[in-house]
């Protein structure tokens, strides 16, 4: 692989994985302890902000991994990059089919009324699955570029 492409793939994909890990490990557990009104406001705002930014980050990372796979050719580097790209494609599919609909509902929570902590907990569980997959694909990418 090209050293510049390696660096770019790691520099774009790595922070994305880190943000998703931080959401799972720090953000959602802290927000879960808030009273309902603060919980609703924090989850809704996070859903709107991250929901607007993350799709571009995911698509950019997926494109970089696809290009890295093609440029790596055969051998272990190609297989690792291809596996990482395939896993990221599966993560994108999980995100679009399961997490985005829940996130959209959370982003549209009314300012008052009943808050669905069960819905947020479902999103959190699916997000944890996504984070594990992201950590695995980032490890694959890291091994491929070294």
Task: Round the average pLDDT of the chain to a whole number and report it.
Answer: 93
Q: Residue 1 corresponds to which tokens in the numbers above? A: 């692989």
pLDDT digit string (tens) for 35-86? 998 999 999 899 999 989 999 999 999 999 999 999 988 899 999 999 999 9
Residue 66 has a pLDDT of 95
Q: How far is CA 22 from the centre of its chain?
A: 10
User: What is the pLDDT at residue 116?
Assistant: 86
Cα–Cα distance for residue pair 49/123, rounded to 1 Å? 16
How high is the pLDDT of residue 118?
92
Compute the average pLDDT of residues 109-136. 92
pTM for the model stands at 0.92
Spatial neighbors of 112 by CB under 8 A, at least 6 apart, are 37
What the block records as the tokens of 41 is 């406001």
The two structure tokens encoding residue 127: 């997000």
């Amino acid at each position: 692989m090209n050293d510049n492409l390696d660096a770019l793939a790691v520099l774009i994909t790595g922070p994305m994985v880190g943000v998703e890990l931080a959401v799972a490990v720090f953000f959602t557990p802290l927000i879960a302890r808030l009273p309902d009104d603060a919980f609703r406001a924090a989850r809704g705002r996070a859903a709107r902000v991250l929901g607007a930014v993350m799709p571009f980050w995911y698509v950019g990372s997926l494109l970089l991994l696809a290009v890295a796979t093609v440029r790596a050719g055969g051998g272990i580097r190609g297989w690792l990059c291809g596996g990482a790209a395939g896993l990221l494609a599966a993560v994108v599919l999980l995100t679009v089919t399961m997490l985005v609909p829940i996130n959209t509902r959370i982003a549209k929570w009314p300012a008052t009324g009943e808050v669905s902590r069960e819905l947020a907990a479902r999103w959190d569980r699916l997000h944890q699955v996504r984070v594990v997959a992201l950590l695995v694909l980032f490890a694959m990418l890291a091994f491929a570029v070294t």
